[in-house]
Amino acid sequence: MSELTGKVAIVTGAAGNLGRAVCQTLAARGASIALLGRHAEALEATRAGLGESAAFPVDLVDPRGLEQTVAAVRARFGRIDILANIAGGFAMGPPLHQTSDQDWDRMMDLNARSVFNACRAVIPHLLAAGGGRIVNIAARAALKGQGHMAPYCAAKAVVIRLTESLADEHRDDAININCILPGTLDTPENRAAMPDADHSRWVGTDALADVVLFLVSDASRAISGAAIPVYGRS
């Protein structure tokens, strides 16, 4: 049997660059994958070749919709073992004093509220199953604020504190909760935005997906509440 055979993983932001890599990596180790994201067609395209999997289009900011979706995942697969909160997004903007409510809310919703909602919806199922794993994606920028990035830095800092608090709440429930702090990811979008950068120093999505794999595997059983830097050589 493969390492994750029989396990069911929910992957949010499944159709994004990192989400696709995580889905493929976990599926290759035998996990069944529930792909969550906003765009049904993109989710279906990501499903191709994944094996046991199903797409669940949902807005992660809508707690009621997410709760129903997680219940649907449970009904479809019979269990939930892993939550990989991959959904998120980055945007630079004006200085903070010129930042609009909409820009602030967008970064918070995309990066922090989505994690809060997903954890809140999934944890009761992990408790019922007797344990599980949650991996959140924070960012290197969560550790130190930077100009023109305040909403993003603040939202990712929320993810770290949320991870620590959850890990503390569930340290005796066999639920391990950790987050990853990626440096710059090597994606087509980042290459287009920074064509002159040394891309070989960035973190590949497959390499980051391997860290997610480690954190959902039995090998990481002694780690919970950690924020793990994955910077490549950047």
Contact 11, 42 (CB under 8 A): no
Query: 173 to 192, contacts with another protein by CB under 8 A?
Result: 173-174
Find the binder of another protein among 6, 49, 145, 229 (CB under 8 A). Answer: 6
152 tagged catalytic: yes
Strands (E), the chain: 8-12, 32-37, 53-57, 82-85, 132-137, 175-182, 185-186, 203-204, 227-230
Taking the C-alpha atoms of residue 133 and residue 70, their distance in angstroms, rounded to an integer, is 15
Burial level of 196, CB count in 10 A (0-12/13-18/19+)?
Answer: exposed
Q: Does 76 bind another protein (CB under 8 A)?
A: no
Query: 106 to 135, contacts with another protein by CB under 8 A?
Result: 129-131
Find the binder of another protein among 39, 191, 201, 221 (CB under 8 A). Answer: 221
Residue 45: CA count within 13 A, CB half-sphere: 10
Identify the active-site residue in 152, 163, 166, 181: 152
Least distance from C-beta 89 to another protein, angstroms? 32
Which residue number, 101 or 172, has a Cβ lying nearer to another protein?
A: 172
For 92, the token pair is 């630079």
How many chain residues are in contact with another protein, going by CB under 8 A? 15
Q: Does 51 bind another protein (CB under 8 A)?
A: no
Taking the C-alpha atoms of residue 77 and residue 53, their distance in angstroms, rounded to an integer, is 9
Q: Does 29 bind another protein (CB under 8 A)?
A: no
Instruction: Write out the residues near another protein by the rule CB under 8 A.
Output: 1, 5-6, 78-79, 129-131, 168, 171-174, 218, 221
